[in-house]
A and B are shown apart, each in its own frame.
Chain A
Amino acid sequence: MSTTTIMAAREAVSAGHGLLRRLVRSEWIKFRTVRGWVIGMVAGVLVTIIWGLLVANGSNVGCQAGPNSPVESGAACLPRFPLGPGGEAVTDSFYFVHQTLTGDGSITVRVTSLTGLYLPPGSGISASDPEAGMRPGVQPWSKAGIIIKASARPGSAYAAMMITGGHGVRMQYDYTHDTAGLPGAVSARSPRWLRLTRSGDTLTGYDSADGTHWTKIGTADLAGLPSTVQAGLFATSPDYVQVVSQSLGNGSSAGGSSLATASFDDVRLSGTPLGTWHGSVIGGSSGGLPASASGFRQAGGGLTVTGTGDIAPVVAGGASGASTIGQFLTGAFAGLIAAVVVAVMLITAEYRRGLIRVTMAASPRRGRVLAAKAIVACAVTFVAGLAAAAVVVPLAGRLAHNKGTYVLPVSGLTDMRVIVGTAAVLAVAAVLAVAAGTMLRRSAAAVTSGIVLIVLPYIFGTTGILPAGAAQWLLRVTPAAAFAMQQSVPAYPQVTASYTPAGGYFPLAPWAGFAVLCGYAVLALAVAWYLLRRRDA
């Protein structure tokens, strides 16, 4: 192979770009002719795939429809989450007091109170008197207000203006969108006026503290909204969740059902509404509370609505038990170790055998030798990582489905980003390893630093060894930040849950995390290039 290098390089000494191409070719020949390196990469791919299948196969969910029904397992136990307009899994259960509205129109209301009850963790619900044993207290994301919804079907498009237990007035639409309005809690002394107007497919939300001065909060474009929609009042309240952030554990949360009751008056529906108010439980009763716990009362000019559930996207972990495709790809760490070992050896093996002197003699442009090695390490690892990820994601997803684990659905584009992103992370890590090998020249030190630099911060960041703050910080500034590429679903501030990296939620956005790793790789390459030029081979 050295003869190839020498000949290749001599021919191309004046050829400029051709030189790099030939160097890449000779590095590729070096890689593929060392059997151990090829075996190492293949082993990395296989372990990554087996790991993913093991994770998908791991949890065998069992369930029982009722106390006397047979115990079922596997796909029969999958929760049936409706899909929102964006294709995401959503929770859509609330108490809806509605009328049919045809064409354009608006709804305006005054809210004078929002109170709640919640079941402390560990207590049971009695079917006859669901409110017995519940404690007073409104949840931060208990919500009540006005809503215009395409239909009463769970998962249909909507826009709503609401007051919340702890986050002031909000405008939310289509499950994932959330805009803040007036802050502060609502009471009889400081009521809130809410207004939602429909004009074609556009819904606009307003709020007001006095009923005369209105502030526009936002607009929602609900494409394809039918001309006949359901408009009215709603109340709902998500499960009581306690995120344990102080603990060194994974911020586990415990929860029980909750109820929210809101008082409305001064309800005005303009446009062409039909008939009188109807009350319905949308999306069935959630959290084990019987349907009788929800309802509405009409007295004088006012309405009181009580509901339970949530109108929000489903998030991974917690009560939903939902998983993400990123969980199946944690095996990429096994692939990463294989890639780091091979990439380091691309350069350190030459130092050990003295081949580096032949390589440098054949191609005195040392920077290009380094570039060629980095390109080969990057390309080989990318292809291997892509093969592993492209096999794991569909296969493990299907296996998990059959085992009764709900995997949050994502768009094809997100799927692609997670798969290609995982391969790209491994590829850039391999470049980092080539640079480390060039700097340190010894494989033991280079392999260890490559692995420790990427894997150890991830362990510290995800397994609850460090407190949450320090863990998040590590996943922002170390090369392990790149694994944000595997996050397939966003964290929603309007849903209380423990968004931990172990559950698939990273502090940085996917591409930002990837950029951190790229920054390390570029820096390491620059130092390696400098040292390679300065030092004797």
Chain B
Amino acid sequence: MPRTGDAPASTAPRAPQTALARKPSGERNGQRAGSSSLCEALHAEWTKLRTLPGTFWLLAALVVTTVAVSAAATAAVTCPHGGCSVDPARTSLTGIYLGQAVAVILGVLVISGEYSTGMIRATFTAMPRRTKVLAAKAAIIGGLALAAGAIAVAGSLLAGRVLLTGHGFTSAHGYPALTLGDGPVLRAAVGSVLYLALTALLSLGIATIIRDPAPAIGTVLGLLYLDPIIAAVLHGAHWHNVIERYAPMTAGLAIQATTNLSSLPISPWAGLGVLAAWAAGALLAGGLVLRLRDA
């Protein structure tokens, strides 16, 4: 783990001089710092996040909730004689439905937390290149979500492997034990980790626009959780396919499918690509708003 950075320490004394007159000072600072400022920004963001007590608990919550819901969902399915139409990998990864809510909190708080305490002004005084700050936040939060997501997905698959075999998902029924050596299962696992990271980035982008944590979380969770609900009531309609293919959650979770791929509304990687496009769009819009607006 890196030592507490000298970035805040070294930039803090400069802050009073450069404060308020944002734009000119920003350019000067940027020229002087050059390419190393992204490293400084990363270092600063990492230090801020690392020293907040909530971060660790949120990451732990992401892992625990994901594994717990996955295990509960897996314990609820059985495969009796005569076959079943269950996608074992997808069922073992059901916890992503809840885990993503924690990823959303992480993504929102990394910027909204600074807005609500007023810390954001200190951050922008120290790092006047605002988009660089956003990029650093995205890199740090994306990395943390990937790390926590990897543990959560590994735990979920392990729980699934143990529980499913006990519920009739045996080789005799055409369900070999879950293993990452199996291509589709590996895709579902890697994709689920990426899914968590992308939802965190989507949240960061939206929270940059909205600033206040409560409405930002409400918006992101609405954008995610309302997709399957509206898709379910729009059965048979033209809009049903549009929602399934282009809404962030229904499209993004297509990556978890390992069986019956032909019945998917969108192919797994294309679906994750849709979510990535949402996240990129939100981050771009956030970066743009950040440049144009007063902090």
Residues on A facing B (Cβ under 8 Å): 36, 40, 51, 54-55, 58-60, 246-250, 327, 330-331, 333-334, 337-338, 340-341, 344-345, 348, 352, 443-448, 451-452, 455-456, 458-460, 462-463, 465-467, 469-470, 502
CB atoms of A40 and B76 under 8 A apart? no
- Select one of B76, B85, B98, B225 contacting A466, CB under 8 A: B76
Report B-chain residues with C-beta under 8 Å of the C-beta of A344. Answer: 214
- The reply to whether A333 and B229 form a contact with Cβ atoms under 8 Å apart is yes
The residue among B94, B102, B228 with the most chain A CB atoms within 10 A of its own CB is: B228
Cα–Cα, bound, A456→B249 (Å): 13
B226:A333 contact, CB within 8 angstroms: yes
Classify the secondary structure of A's interface with B.
Answer: helix
Please state if B97 and A460 are interface contacts (CB–CB under 8 Å): yes
Contact code string B239-278 (vs A, CB < 8 Å = 1, else 0): 1100000000000000000000000000000000000000
Docked Cα-Cα span, A59 to B236, in Å, equals 7
Interface residues of B in 211-240 (CB under 8 A from A): 212-215, 217-218, 221-222, 225-226, 228-240
Which single member of A327, A341, A445 contacts B105 (CB below 8 Å)?
A445
Q: Does B80 contact A (CB under 8 A)?
A: yes
Chain B hits for A448, CB < 8 A: 101-102, 104-105, 217, 221
**Given the complex of chains A and B, what is the CA–CA distance between A51 and B109 in angstroms?**
29
**Cβ-closest 9 pairs across A and B:** A58-B237, A341-B218, A470-B76, A443-B214, A247-B85, A59-B237, A444-B213, A337-B222, A463-B228
Given contacts A246-B80, A248-B86, contact A55 B234 (CB under 8 A): yes
Q: How far is the CA of A455 from the CA of B222 in the complex (A)?
A: 10
Residues on the B chain within 8 Å of A51, using CB: 230
The reply to whether A447 and B217 contact each other, CB–CB distance below 8 Å, is yes
A328 to chain B, nearest CB (A): 8
Contact partner of B229 among A249, A250, A445, A458, CB < 8 A? A458
Contacts A59-B236, A248-B77, A443-B214; A456 near B98 (Cβ below 8 A): yes
Asked whether A338 and B218 contact (CB < 8 A) given A448-B104, A456-B225, A460-B97, the answer is yes
B101 and A444 form a contact (CB under 8 A): no
Cα(A378)–Cα(B86), bound, Å:
41
Q: What CA separation (Å) do A334 and B77 show in the bound complex?
A: 30
Q: Is B214 a contact of A348 with CB atoms below 8 Å?
A: yes
**How close is A365's CB to chain B, nearest CB, in angstroms?**
26
Cα–Cα distance between A317 and B234 once the two chains are bound (Å): 12
Q: Roughly how many angstroms separate A497 CA and B62 CA in the complex, as a whole number?
A: 39
A439 to chain B, nearest CB (A): 15
Residues of B within 8 A of A467 (CB): 76-78
Assembly CA distance A452 to B98 (angstroms) = 7
Q: What's the minimum C-beta distance from A186 to chain B, rounded to whole angstroms?
A: 30
* B84 close to chain A: CB less than 8 A: yes
Q: Contacts of A345 on B, CB cut-off 8 Å?
A: 214-215
Asked if B116 lies at the interface with its beta carbon under 8 angstroms from chain A, I say yes
Q: List 28 A-B contacts (CB under 8 A).
A: A36-B212, A40-B218, A54-B239, A58-B240, A59-B234, A59-B237, A246-B80, A327-B233, A330-B230, A330-B232, A341-B215, A443-B213, A443-B217, A444-B112, A446-B214, A448-B101, A448-B102, A452-B98, A452-B221, A456-B97, A458-B229, A459-B97, A462-B229, A463-B229, A463-B231, A467-B78, A469-B76, A502-B233
Contact B215 A36 (CB under 8 A): yes
CB distance from A38 to the nearest CB of B (A): 13
Report A361 CB to chain B, min CB distance, Å. 23
Cα(A352)–Cα(B116), bound, Å:
8
A-B contacts counted at CB < 8 A amount to: 131
Contacting residues, chain A, for B73 (C-beta < 8 A): 460, 465-466, 470
Residues of chain A with a CB closer than 8 A to B221's CB: 337, 447-448, 451-452, 455
B157 at the interface (CB under 8 A from A): no
CB neighbours (8 Å) of B97 from chain A are 456, 459-460, 465
Cβ of A284 to closest chain B Cβ, rounded Å: 25
Instruction: Across the interface, name the chain B residue whose C-beta is closest to A54.
Output: B239
Instruction: Please give me the residue from chain A that is nearest to B231 by CB atom.
Output: A463
* B229–A246 touching, CB < 8 Å: no
Tell me, rounded to whole Å, the shortest Cβ–Cβ distance linking A348 to chain B: 7
Q: List 14 additional contacts besides A51-B230, A58-B237; criterion CB under 8 Å.
A: A36-B212, A54-B230, A58-B240, A337-B225, A443-B214, A448-B105, A451-B225, A452-B101, A455-B229, A459-B228, A463-B228, A463-B231, A466-B77, A470-B76
Q: A338-B218, A447-B217 are in contact. Are A330 and B233 (CB under 8 A)?
A: yes
Q: Is B67 an interface residue (CB 8 A)?
A: no
Tell me the bound Cα distance from A462 to B228 in angstroms. 9
Least Cβ–Cβ distance between A8 and chain B, in angstroms: 26
Partner of B234, one of A54, A248, A340: A54
Judge whether B108 is part of the interface by a CB distance below 8 angstroms.
yes
Digit string of B76-91 for contact with A (CB within 8 Å is 1, else 0)?
Answer: 1110100011110001
- Shortest Cβ gap from B216 to chain A (Å): 9
Residue on B with the closest CB to A330?
Answer: B233
Min CB distance A433 to B, Å, is 10
Task: Report B-chain residues with C-beta under 8 Å of the C-beta of A340.
Answer: 218
Closest to B240 in A: A58
Which residue from chain A places its CB closest to the CB of B80 in the assembled complex? A246
Least CB distance, B163 to chain A, in whole angstroms? 13
Task: Check A444 against B226 for contact (C-beta < 8 Å).
Answer: no
Find out whether the CB atom of A447 lies under 8 angstroms from the CB atom of B85.
no
A344 to B214, CA, bound (A): 8
Residue of B whose beta carbon sits closest to that of A437: B214
